[in-house]
A and B are shown apart, each in its own frame.
Chain A
Amino acid sequence: MGFGVIISKESFMISSVVKTSVPGIDKLAGAVQKLSLSNDIDSIIKVVRSIARELTGADGATFVLRDNNMCYYADEDAISPLWKGSRFPMEKCISGWVMKNRKPAVIPDIYKDVRIPQDVYRPTFVKSLAIVPIRTLEPIGAIGNYWAEFHLPTEEEVSLLQALADITSVSIENINIRNRLQEKLNEREQMLSQLEKQKEQLEEFAQIVSHNLRAPLSNLILLSDMVETSEEMDKKLRLLKKQNQIVNSLHNTFEQLVVASQVKTDFKAEREYIDLEEAVLNILVMLQGEILSAKISVSCDFSLAKSVYYPGKYFDSILLNLISNAIRYRATDRTPEIKIRSWKKDDWTVIEVEDNGLGIDLSQHSKNIFKLHKTFHGHPMAKGYGLFITRTQVEAMGGTINVESTVGKGSKFTVQLTRDK
């Protein structure tokens, strides 16, 4: 066999066992060491492209990755540019042939081999080449060596190159496994922290249930005790009239606890694209009676973030609660103002509701403001519930809620809704 003959596939089947070449083996050993320290594909490619060239003394080396049906020339190290960054169809590229046939290709004269697309090679220095597949079973790429003079790559050169490709494939596999493990680990950690959060909320919830039901219940017990022991009919009647009030408050408390417990379990609410202006306007229409009668000035600015991918019912409930709080706790000595705006912060969509109302003494309540706290008696609609539910909804979607407030000046609630994926 010589130049000018189409080389049959079988005649160049070369085993990847390295026979004798002490300098070659040394270089390979060096490659193994460097590859074992590589943490990602990019650094593997860097190591391989330079070692591949050194290993055989070639004038150029390429690192090709399979990208579906294309051969992607990811990197190269050569005396003059080859095809770095280019993509060629598998069937029109010799590295594609290597990957498809899962064996090396050795071509001493590129002008005499039908597998070589002449137009691609003519502008380059290449006269001879040897290409080996990375991972023989199901190749994920190829390593190419190129010579500027006609050169018949020796059996040894090809087997060194194949050994390098085998090591490369092991290294890439390792990185893939490591990445998959890391991903699983991250997933687990996320689940764990969510579970912990839920456990904390449940404990909090159990404590609140007992407290908030205990207060009206103890009143009821005391009342019936007094009804029983009082002797005058008049007094009995007077006491009995109070019973209704207690039962109502008991019922209210119970209903609110039911609502709160439903929010907790509904972690899989469906997301949709929400037009912020439209959604907030709908909420303002719901509240327009109060807004008009209290002469509240409401301004909105959604120019910096126009929409959000979020569960609609959560969005409505969060905004409804924040805006109604701003209305309920307005100051009476000045024109009440509510400002609602949105923007992007990093990947987050943020929405803010600011008022110039009564404000909250955060030094007393900062830790508790978003907790389901023990409701203050006689305030069935006390803000404890609303903000707790709001916080639960925000957190269920992975967001955060914060408050800044000054007594006598107003409050500002900032909600990081969700992150763009």
Chain B
Amino acid sequence: MKKIDSICLVDDDEIFQFLANEVIKSTDLVGKVKIFSNGSEAINFIESVKDSPDELPEVILLDLFMPVMDGWGFLEKYLQIKPSLKKKITIYIVTSSIDPQDVQKANSISEVSGFVIKPLTRDKFLNTISLI
């Protein structure tokens, strides 16, 4: 399977951050995992490295419900800065929501490549990145 240089994990749940990090590392397919606790932190980082393709992540795993700026807020800002990014980023929503409205909304946003319902097990993660 193709290796991934770096992944951004955007989720405010500390335990999920820890577990997802373990899962990702256990696959030996990912170089770097960067962790952010809300949409605002993630967008600030992306903006700060938008001109350096090496620093930009290949994949973003995005939670929906977060304080300060939630997943939807992140996507809104991301759409604005996307044209100036020097790298193609694939975004997956990773959430515990099973609300059909959320799934529908996610599907309507072309930048979202998939909707993963937690728990993010090793198999689910491998499945997801195999689609890239």
Encode B1-22 as 1/0 by CB contact (under 8 A) with A: 0000000000111111011001
B120 within 8 A of A: yes
- Measured as residues with beta carbon below 8 angstroms from the partner, the interface class of chain A is 20 to 34
* Interface pair A376/B119, CB less than 8 Å apart: no
**A274 interface residue (CB < 8 Å to B):** no
Given A218-B96, A219-B13, A242-B18, A376-B118 contact (CB < 8 Å)? no
Q: A225-B121, A374-B65 are in contact. Are A364 and B73 (CB under 8 A)?
A: yes
A211/B96 in contact, CB under 8 A? yes
Cα of A246 to Cα of B19 in the assembled complex, Å: 11
What per-residue 1/0 map shows which CB atoms of A218-233 lie under 8 Å from chain B? 1101110110010000
Give Cα A214–Cα B16 distance, bound, in whole angstroms.
Answer: 12
Q: Residues of B contacting A222 with CB < 8 Å? A: 19, 23, 118-121
B19 touches A378 (CB 8 A): no
Q: Give the CA-CA distance A355 to B122 in the complex, in Å.
A: 47
B interface residues, tally (CB under 8 Å): 24
Q: Which residues on B sit within 8 Å (CB–CB) of A218?
A: 96, 118-119
Question: CA separation between A229 and B121, bound complex, in Å?
Answer: 11
Q: Which residues of A contact B18 (CB under 8 A)?
A: 242
Chosen A-B contacts, 16 in total, with CB atoms closer than 8 Å, are A215-B96, A218-B119, A219-B19, A222-B23, A222-B121, A225-B119, A225-B122, A226-B22, A226-B23, A242-B15, A364-B69, A373-B65, A374-B65, A376-B12, A377-B13, A378-B13
- A residues in contact (CB < 8 Å) with B: 207, 210-211, 214-216, 218-219, 221-223, 225-226, 229, 239, 242, 245-246, 249, 364, 373-374, 376-379, 382
Given contacts A214-B97, A223-B19, A246-B15, 18 further A-B pairs with CB under 8 A are A210-B98, A211-B65, A214-B96, A214-B98, A215-B118, A219-B13, A219-B16, A219-B119, A222-B19, A222-B119, A223-B15, A239-B22, A242-B18, A364-B69, A374-B65, A376-B66, A378-B15, A379-B67
